[in-house]
Amino acid sequence: MTTPREEALNTPNSAYPNLEERLDTYMRRIFYLRDSHLATQEHDPAIVEYFGVLSLTNVRAPRRKLWYMYYATADELDATVDQIHKKYGQKNMYDLYRKPVFSGSGMRARVKNHFSALKWYVKGNILEAPPDSPYNDEKVVNTIADLYQADRRRYHDLLVGKNSDFVKWNPAHLNC
């Protein structure tokens, strides 16, 4: 038998029982958004976009280093990957990298710009390293992970900057 105190400690966000609502209110104040009048506003996990990279092996030219980029929402992800496997062959591909991103097309553009600056052949969703390039799957994943972290850092810095501006110019103490 548990005491009421133990039950309160074991509940999620026990220090702030309405933490999600408080964060939502605070973010709306920071970005000057209208208040949502929906009391039970739930976020739909199906709208989260994922960015991924598949390693592609060309059977006719096994020395070519190819990677395929894709992005899709969570509910379309399996269908997108199945369509890619159907186009290029199930045996010739394997998933290297998959992460949730703010914008799948934005992340794809960042990756394309980075690798095209390295003089790679970039067309559509295909990345191809030059023949004399030292890149392998591990280096490509590390590079894309670095670009992903830089993208996340950019969004984090934006939120921190907005928060500091809001605190600096808002004389009233916020008690959400």
Shared domain check, 103 and 120: yes
* Residue bearing the bigger pLDDT, 12 or 158: 158
User: Which domain covers residue 145, as residue numbers?
Assistant: 45-156
Shared domain check, 103 and 79: yes
| 101 vs 107: CA distance, rounded Å | 7
Shared domain check, 117 and 35: no
Q: Is the pLDDT of residue 37 over 80?
A: no
Quote the DSSP letter at residue 95: E
Angstrom CA distances, 130 to 60, 66, 115, 119, stand at 17, 10, 11, 8
Shared domain check, 62 and 8: no
1 falls in which pLDDT band (50, 70, 90)? low
Residue-wise pLDDT tens digits, 88-100:
888 888 899 999 9
Shared domain check, 63 and 13: no
Is residue 84 within 8 A of residue 126, CB to CB? The reply is: no
Q: Is the pLDDT of residue 122 over 60?
A: yes
Quote the DSSP letter at residue 45: G
The tally of domains found in the chain comes to 2
Tell me if 168 is assigned to some domain: no
Q: What are the tokens at 146? A: 């670095």
Tell me if 163 is assigned to some domain: no
pLDDT averaged over every residue in the chain: 83
Shared domain check, 144 and 108: yes
Query: Which of 41-45, 58-62, 144-148 reaches the highest mean pLDDT?
Result: 144-148
- What pLDDT, on the 0 to 100 scale, is given for residue 39? 47
Shared domain check, 28 and 94: no
Tell me if 170 is assigned to some domain: no
Shared domain check, 52 and 20: no
pTM reported for the whole predicted model: 0.70
Tell me if 166 is assigned to some domain: no
H/E run at residue 98: strand 93-101
Shared domain check, 53 and 23: no
Shared domain check, 73 and 135: yes
